[in-house]
Amino acid sequence: MNKKDILELKRRFKKEACTFTRLCGCYVDADRNKVTSFGQTFLNLEDEEFYKYLEIAKKVLSGTIGNNLLELEFPTAEEVAGGRQQFLMGLRADALKSEELMDAFYDLVIDSYDYVGNYLILVFHDAYDVMTKTSDNNKLDESEEVYEYLLCAICPVSLTKPGLGYRESENRIGPRIRDWVVGAPDTGFVFPAFTDRSTDIHSVLFYTRDTKTPHAEFMESGLGCGTKLTATEKKLTFQNIVKEVIGEDDEESDALFLNIQGSLNDMIPVTEDETAQPDPVIMTSDVIAEVLTESGVAEDQVSVIGKVYEDVFHEELPEAGQLVDPKLVEANGKRKEKLELVQQVENLKQQLAETRTLPVTPSEEDDDDVPAVKTYDVILRVKPEKVGQIHAQVIDGQKCLVIPMDEDEHAAVNGINTTI
């Protein structure tokens, strides 16, 4: 599923466009007990509930593709009788009407979802009449197909914080009554996937709010699919691989790591057309080796990192952008600016030193090939017409340079104006 496919579904989650036929749910406590379950026609809900549930459904289609949203594929074994893909197909065909099937689904989630605390399982059923589109993206008044799907959201349910509040029945300020509140979805999925505006029964779109630690156990045991790393997981895994080899917490290794981040950032494709999606750069082990070498990593370290990288990512190679941490790229830019500034200061110091020294012709007896350099104690800079007026004179036994000056003339000594 691409961004357009997701937005097409998400745009329909409005009061005037929504076509959800049924909503079912099950509230599970921290001991994995089913506290209560329900099923009802979605369009019959009161407005306050209607909009709250729509907001939850929207969250399952929110976030970044490849990070919050992962497209998982069913293995062949799950697409035969008894497989989890076949179970979801039956659940969809029943349109969430069978209590027995719903109970079986809730049990499947409870057995495979590792969560400490209370949570609510919500399942929406929808049938979207997909309109045919012309090449210029205009809709025709005819149906292309009916996309029938399930949307599941697993939401944490937490107790409100303690506090003081106004107790109206007692007309006093007292302890607030705490109750259980349904939060935004932690995990969810859409089945089947909506790929290129069409039903894809071989895939499911998985949603996770926490991209660092998604519920991989639910991907595998709940949906029957193989686990898939989020972009955040890929980035952190790559960083750990590199730091394990080059070391960390010292100035040299930190600078080397920042160089790598800068090199990776330079590989992210950009396009002048903001609406166009550039082709991603896939980071093969050979490409990674080039980046590491250009960043200054030693040859033996490049070899070790390459082997570990191949073992970890061989089935799912990351894109360049998935390995980049924007904060580290920014830090690398500031580091380079600081280094450039230090170099500029050194260059200025060198230029200043050169202006204060003049070469002296070496004597014939001097066998040294390097010209001698003498530093002068007095350097004069005067107007051309004053040069002929300068002469030496002994005053009080001290040899002096005498520069005649008229009353309206001024002088600067070491950059400071004087009225001498």
What DSSP assignment string belongs to 94-111? HTT--HHHHHHHHHHHHH
Q: What is the pLDDT of residue 363?
A: 52
Q: How confident is the model at residue 367 (pLDDT cuts 50, 70, 90)?
A: low
Q: Is the dihedral of CA 73, 79, 82, 85 positive or negative?
A: positive
Q: What is the pLDDT of residue 96?
A: 95
Of 181, 200, 227, which residue sits at a domain end? 227
- Are 155 and 300 in a shared domain? no
Q: Is the dihedral of CA 398, 400, 406, 411 positive or negative?
A: negative
Q: What is the pTM of this model?
A: 0.76
In a domain, 152, yes or no: yes
In a domain, 361, yes or no: no
In a domain, 85, yes or no: yes
In a domain, 350, yes or no: no
In a domain, 296, yes or no: yes
Rounded distance between C-alpha atoms, residue 277 and residue 322, angstroms = 15
Q: What range defines the domain where residue 386 resides?
A: 380-418
- Are 219 and 245 in a shared domain? no
Q: Which helix (H) or strand (E) holds 301?
A: helix 299-313
> Could you tell me which residue, 177 or 80, shows the higher pLDDT?
80
- Are 117 and 265 in a shared domain? no
In a domain, 372, yes or no: no
- Are 169 and 298 in a shared domain? no
- Are 263 and 248 in a shared domain? yes
Of 344, 369, 395, which residue sits at a domain end? 344
- pLDDT tens per residue, range 102-112: 999 999 999 99
In a domain, 371, yes or no: no
- Are 199 and 300 in a shared domain? no
> Could you tell me which residue, 369 or 200, shows the higher pLDDT?
200
- Are 104 and 197 in a shared domain? yes
The whole-number average pLDDT for the span 356-374 is: 54
Q: What is the pLDDT of residue 140?
A: 60
- Are 136 and 171 in a shared domain? yes
- Are 130 and 34 in a shared domain? yes
- Are 262 and 404 in a shared domain? no
- Are 50 and 162 in a shared domain? yes
Q: What is the pLDDT of residue 142?
A: 67
| Predicted confidence (pLDDT) at residue 186 exceeds the cutoff of 90 | yes
Of 175, 195, 227, which residue sits at a domain end? 227
Residue 247 · residue 222 · CB < 8 Å: no
| Predicted confidence (pLDDT) at residue 271 exceeds the cutoff of 70 | no
- Are 208 and 293 in a shared domain? no
Give the C-alpha distances (Å, rounded to integers) separating 113 from 104, 283, 404: 14, 32, 97
| Predicted confidence (pLDDT) at residue 350 exceeds the cutoff of 90 | no
Q: Please count the structural domains in the chain.
A: 3
In a domain, 351, yes or no: no
